Structure 1
Amino acid sequence: MAQYQFPISILIADDHRLITDGLATILGAEKDISEIYTADNGRDAVELVMQHAIDCVIMDVDMPILNGLEATKQIKQQKPNVKIIVVSMLSDAAIVNKLLRAGADAFINKESGKAELLKAINVVINGKKYISPEISAYLFTRLSGPKADQEETVERQLTPRELEIIRHIADGLTNQEIAGKLFLSTVTVDTHRKNMLAKLNLKNTASLVRYAAEHGLLK
């Protein structure tokens, strides 16, 4: 394992500019952080890690072009010593196991504050794993509940953004209309749709809507 020395360089990968700018401002004030890079999709995140001496990536799960899971896989395959902290909503926690297998080093709730983020960074840089208490509690509830053995497989879990988009698709909205409602680009909406089809092993939008209806996802 590589030995890290402070200050370290960090990459923030998230498709929401307010989040990347906000985290960059917060972390930029820390003396133990020397450089901060940002990316708004997984492909750019991978490219930046390949091009620069980045020590730690703060990775969103739900991103266009290449999602956080695939970006994590590629980074860990090529630069296994780069630490990856996944930032997730509680309802994204079903994919934690898959991300762990891909090599993620930490998971923190998107509602976490600065102190927990800095704690997670310090923990992973020192070679340990970290999962925020909220996500740990959520996972325990899912795994110990009476219906745990009936839960869908990790591969069939949709993120909150994907659920949002699929409900709009079921309502008959076009990509352009969905993009306007969610303040996204039409390319991003279409990327989410394609990711859902691939994730669920479905062939077209009609089968995607049918799947969502059959599994009670259109509530």
Structure 2
Amino acid sequence: MQGFSLRVVLADDHPAMIAGIHHGLSSVGTFQLTGTAANSTELFGLLDTDCCDVLVSDYSMPGNEHGDGIALFSLIRRRYPAVKLVVFTMLDNPAVLGALQNLGISCVVSKADAVSYLIPAIHAAATGGTYYSPTVQKTVRMRDLNGRNGNAPQPLSKRELEVLRLYAGGLTINEIAERLNRSKKTISTQKVRAMQKLGIERDVDLLRYAMEHGIVAASSQQGAAADEGQQD
């Protein structure tokens, strides 16, 4: 009789990160690593084979068929409701965490923490529990404290957050509309509402906000900020 085993799939667009996670989890007897994916197209190909109990996925995997971030996780939850999710990401700011919680995703590990924190996160996800690595826990505590003190900004909806992330990552309104299958007018309205909630009037300040709060990776934003600065 075989022992208990969780089938785990890893998704990240950086091969070195995949290798590091694979190495960190390969010695855990309760895990069976059944596949890896570098983008959402590869990921859905794996999930279609019913080879996964728990998916460990990066938040940002741009340039693929099904998108990334909140849009990707929403689609996964609808199409593969039995698959449990652990998000492994550098984007551990309050807005992102709130959007993940709204989707029912409560196991998040920061890439700033050791890969070993994925082990309890995977077990927690499999049993419907909650797990945050130390860096994420700190963000959650600060968000809750700000909320109690009345200092928390008006929260962005998950759609506003996704539009902000994609825009700050360098996509145009038209490109975001195409990627998210929404109208240009809808995307523009969601961007304006996000800026109003944040008290931001200029696009260049929106880009700086996204960088300072980890909504997009700094490397992807520097080019967008430079382009925006030239337009001011």
> With structure 2 as the length reference, what TM-score do the two structures score?
0.65
Quote the Cα distance in structure 1 between the aligned partners of 2:115 and 2:101.
23
The match for 2:99 is 98
Q: 2:31 aligns with which of 14, 30, 33?
A: 33
Quote the Cα distance in structure 2 between the aligned partners of 1:12 and 1:29.
15
C-alpha deviation, 1:57, in angstroms: 0.4
Change (3 A) 1:148 1:155: farther
Change (3 A) 1:42 1:92: farther
Quote the Cα distance in structure 2 between the aligned partners of 1:151 and 1:102.
15
Q: Answer yes or no: is 1:201 the counterpart of 2:199.
A: no
How many residue pairs end up in the alignment? 187
Change (3 A) 1:16 1:194: farther
2:39–2:61: 8 Å Cα contact kept in structure 1? yes
- The runs of 5 or more residues in structure 2 that have no matched partner are 190-200, 209-224
The match for 1:187 is none
The match for 1:133 is 134
C-alpha deviation, 1:215, in angstroms: 2.9
1:187-198 correspondence to structure 2 within 5 Å: 194-195=175-176
Aligned residues with identical type, % of pairs: 21
The match for 2:145 is 144
Question: Counterpart of 2:87 in 1: which secondary structure?
Answer: strand
Question: Counterpart of 1:85 in 2: which secondary structure?
Answer: strand
Change (3 A) 1:127 1:153: closer
After superposition, the C-alpha distances for 1:69-125 in whole angstroms (9 at most, x for unaligned) are 223222221322211001122544422222223232411111221331111112222
C-alpha deviation, 1:163, in angstroms: 8.2
After superposition, the C-alpha distances for 1:156-215 in whole angstroms (9 at most, x for unaligned) are 4479x968854xxxxxxxxxxxxxxxxxxxxxxx69x94498699249xxxxxx953143
Question: Counterpart of 1:149 in 2: which secondary structure?
Answer: coil
Quote the Cα distance in structure 2 between the aligned partners of 1:143 and 1:154.
18
Q: 1:212 aligns with which of 203, 207, 214?
A: 203
**Aligned residue type for 1:39:** A
Quote the Cα distance in structure 1 between the aligned partners of 2:166 and 2:15.
19
C-alpha deviation, 1:26, in angstroms: 2.1
The match for 1:109 is 110
Change (3 A) 1:77 1:155: closer
The match for 1:44 is 42
1:93–1:135: 8 Å Cα contact kept in structure 2? no
**Aligned residue type for 2:41:** R
Quote the Cα distance in structure 2 between the aligned partners of 1:165 and 1:74.
21
1:90–1:134: 8 Å Cα contact kept in structure 2? no
Change (3 A) 1:72 1:157: closer
2:12–2:57: 8 Å Cα contact kept in structure 1? yes
Quote the Cα distance in structure 2 between the aligned partners of 1:77 and 1:152.
22
CA RMSD of aligned residues (A): 3.6
- The runs of 5 or more residues in structure 1 that have no matched partner are 167-189, 204-209
Quote the Cα distance in structure 2 between the aligned partners of 1:125 and 1:153.
27
**Aligned residue type for 2:51:** A
The match for 1:185 is none
The match for 2:68 is 67
Quote the Cα distance in structure 1 between the aligned partners of 2:144 and 2:79.
32
